Amino acid sequence: MDRQNRSPAALLALGTAVPPYQARQEDIAQWMITSLSSRPALERLVRGLYASSGIDLRHSCIEDFLHPPEHSHFAPGQPLEQVCTTAERMLLYERAAPPLAAVAASRALEQLAERNDIPLPAATASISHLIVVTCTGFFAPGLDLALARQLNLAPSAERTVVGFMGCSAAFNALRMAHHIVRSQPAARVLIVCVELCSLHIQPGAHREDLIAGSLFADGAAACVVGSAHGHQGDAFRLDSFYSEVKPDTDSDMVWQIGNYGFALRLSPQVPKHLATVAPAALHRLCQPNGPATELGFWAIHPGGPAIIERLAAVFDLAPEQTEASRSVLRRYGNMSSGTILFVLAEVGARLRTAHTCQTGVAMAFGPGLVIEMAQLTYLPARSKSL
């Protein structure tokens, strides 16, 4: 098919979900301090990390934060014989991840059906490909099969798992979906990201463990990518992608499987490293489509307040341009791969009221260090601007 005649791929529908247990950030901080009572010198550090996190609420698939830490199998400072092993955490993941992912996926499919005025079974039957994204748990037969069964997808639906790629992995899935739709215009790709970060609270009291414990949360997000032609609702057209690994930063963000869950090692240099590579990366992303100065919206993965602040400074963004990212961080925390879809859902809700086409950028970051970017154009409902 000639490049100019290929159908543009677009993000046609979005759905998000969080698990049932919700805790205020200040209460989680106190829970951590209580669990580390044998190390009183850490109280100041913990209070500082949580107070500066930019987070008000987080959700979890486990209810430990709602009860005294001495009854928890996850709380740091407990005897190791009381702490959940990685095998036990994977069993919890296998139980909790599929239903949470299914809620997010069902909401995306319901939105697709509603926007196109078709029955939900027809929207579900239109899914030709399923891409599951996760870095917080694995089992086989896997989450992809469990989800396909729960959603009643066609047995012939093609399945792919993007695993262990961290907070930027939704972009790997979106780029894959973009290529699928460009080569098969009738394809509809369901992407589902689900992360249960709270299963990996570490038993130690290292600074890196405490930083991760102050930021990460559980959540799921899903989207449907398909041809923009004929779609009746609003959508984000996927215009271009760009990926770049910054050399010599392998050790700045590390996600390792240990005996007591997965351990994150996060360098305080991450915001600085991202700020050095992001401007040139944005220029390369936008070069084929026009200058970056014409961007109307920004969807930045809220990895933490320092990342948002550093990138806002380097791109000279006004506070309202990062408000969607800050809002998601404030209400949910960092949910790893699915977080950027939460941000895009919020951006879309704000753009819907304006009812005008706008081009913008989405970006996230992962181990590597890698920066992933996408240029998107928001298309209002029934827009002919394809």
The two three-digit tokens of residue 347, written as one number: 């951006």
Strand order in the sheet with 235-245: 158-163, 129-134, 188-196, 218-227, 9-17, 235-245, 370-379, 358-366, 297-300
The two three-digit tokens of residue 93, written as one number: 């993941």
Query: How far, in Å, CA of 100 to CA of 104, rounded?
Result: 7
pLDDT at 250: 92
pLDDT at 3: 46
Pairing of strands 358-366, 9-17: unpaired
Query: How far, in Å, CA of 310 to CA of 9, rounded?
Result: 31
Query: How far, in Å, CA of 175 to CA of 240, rounded?
Result: 9
185-241-129 Cα angle (round to 5)? 35
Say whether pTM exceeds 0.75.
yes
pLDDT at 290: 64
Query: How far, in Å, CA of 69 to CA of 79, rounded?
Result: 12
Query: How far, in Å, CA of 251 to CA of 335, rounded?
Result: 21
Class of domain 235-379: alpha beta
According to the 3-state scheme, what is the secondary structure of 317-328?
A: CCHHHHHHHHHH
Is residue 256 within 8 Å of 219, Cβ to Cβ? no
Outline where the chain has alpha helix (H). 25-35, 43-51, 86-116, 120-125, 143-151, 169-183, 207-215, 270-286, 305-314, 323-332, 339-354
Is residue 10 within 8 Å of 231, Cβ to Cβ? yes
Query: How far, in Å, CA of 334 to CA of 266, rounded?
Result: 14
The two three-digit tokens of residue 354, written as one number: 């304006």
* Structural domain spans, the chain: 235-379
Tens of pLDDT, residue by residue, the chain (386 residues): 444 456 789 999 999 999 999 999 999 999 999 999 888 889 999 999 999 999 999 999 999 999 999 889 998 988 888 899 999 999 999 999 999 999 999 999 999 999 999 999 999 999 999 999 999 999 999 999 999 999 999 999 999 999 999 999 999 999 999 999 999 999 999 999 999 999 999 988 788 889 999 999 999 999 999 998 888 889 999 999 999 999 999 999 999 999 999 999 988 999 999 999 999 999 999 987 666 568 999 999 999 999 999 999 999 999 999 999 999 999 999 999 999 999 999 999 999 988 789 999 999 999 999 999 999 999 998 744 44
Closest CA to 336 of 218, 191, 241, 257: 218
The counts of H helices and E strands in the chain are 11, 13
pLDDT at 103: 99
Closest CA to 238 of 183, 171, 292: 171
